[in-house]
């Protein structure tokens, strides 16, 4: 492709052209721009006619149940059912649970699943105690609920509720993703009826 030398401005012409652009912008910018209008006057009038009334309990509970951040404690095969529930087909992201927290200090839901030995029990209790309030626990699967087929062993804790309080029990060996979603919905319903008043603590 041939370049026409006449199309290439000289340095003096380029400087003058750029200077004119700057001067034009400066002259047109003596006054500050008006603030951006987010809503028109008609929309503001419409908004003034709409009032939302709720309670503090409902607002806080809505935020809690819409953004459960789980920390996982999976020691056995229930892990794979939870992984399946996290995938696109079942998608727990709609509950705000897609981010699994590696630290208990960033989590408010302990997903407990799998066989728990007495040797591991102090660590699970420590994780629960390090979680910030309010916090909830879901026992997923037969092993988490009652020790499962290993409940007669001297080394197995016969249910997580022997060391930490459990809010929702999800039966199955292992429970399918549909069952897990139902259990999580029951937990969300329970959270929706909680109160911040001290007498309910």
Residue 22 in this model has a pLDDT that exceeds 60: yes
Decide the pairing of beta strands 109-113 and 70-74.
Answer: parallel
pLDDT at 1: 45
In a domain, 146, yes or no: yes
According to the model, what pLDDT value does residue 3 have?
47
Tell me, yes or no, whether 152 lies in a domain. yes
How far is C-alpha 7 from the geometric centre of its chain's CA atoms?
58
pLDDT of residue 59: 83
The answer to the question of residue 141 being in a domain is: yes
47 is a domain residue: no
Residue predicted with more confidence, 11 or 153: 153
Domain hosting 149: range is 56-200
60: number of Cβ within 10 Å: 15
Is 60 exceeded by the pLDDT of residue 134? yes
Question: Would residue 21 count as lying in a domain?
Answer: no
Give a yes or no: residue 64 inside a domain: yes
pLDDT value at residue 49: 67
CATH of the domain at 166: 3.40.50.12280
* Residue 9 placed within a domain: no
| pLDDT value at residue 35 | 64
In order, the DSSP letters of 81-144 are HHHHHHSTTT-GGGGT--S--SSGGG-SEEEEES--BTTTHHHHHHHHHHSPSS-EEEEESHHH
Token output for 102 = 């590696």
43 within some domain: no
Our count of domains for the chain comes to 1
Tokens representing 135 are: 């916090």
């Amino acid at each position: 492709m041939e370049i026409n030398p006449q199309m290439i401005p000289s340095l003096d012409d380029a400087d003058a052209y750029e200077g004119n652009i700057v001067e034009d912008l400066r002259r047109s910018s003596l006054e500050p721009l008006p603030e951006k209008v987010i809503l028109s006057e008609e929309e503001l009038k419409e908004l003034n006619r709409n009032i939302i009334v709720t309670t503090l309990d409902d607002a806080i509970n809505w935020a809690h149940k819409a953004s459960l951040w789980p920390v996982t404690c999976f020691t056995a095969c229930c892990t794979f059912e939870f992984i399946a529930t996290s995938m696109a087909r079942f998608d727990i992201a709609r509950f705000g649970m897609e981010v699994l927290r590696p630290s208990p200090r960033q989590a408010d839901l302990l997903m407990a699943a799998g066989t728990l030995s007495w040797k591991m029990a102090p660590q699970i209790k420590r994780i629960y105690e390090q979680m910030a309030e309010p916090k909830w626990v879901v026992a997923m699967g037969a092993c988490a609920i009652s020790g499962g087929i290993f409940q007669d062993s001297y080394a197995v804790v016969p249910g997580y509720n022997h060391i930490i309080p459990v809010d929702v029990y999800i039966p199955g060996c292992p429970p399918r993703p549909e069952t897990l979603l139902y259990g999580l919905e029951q937990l969300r319903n329970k959270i929706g009826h909680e109160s911040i008043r001290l007498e309910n603590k």
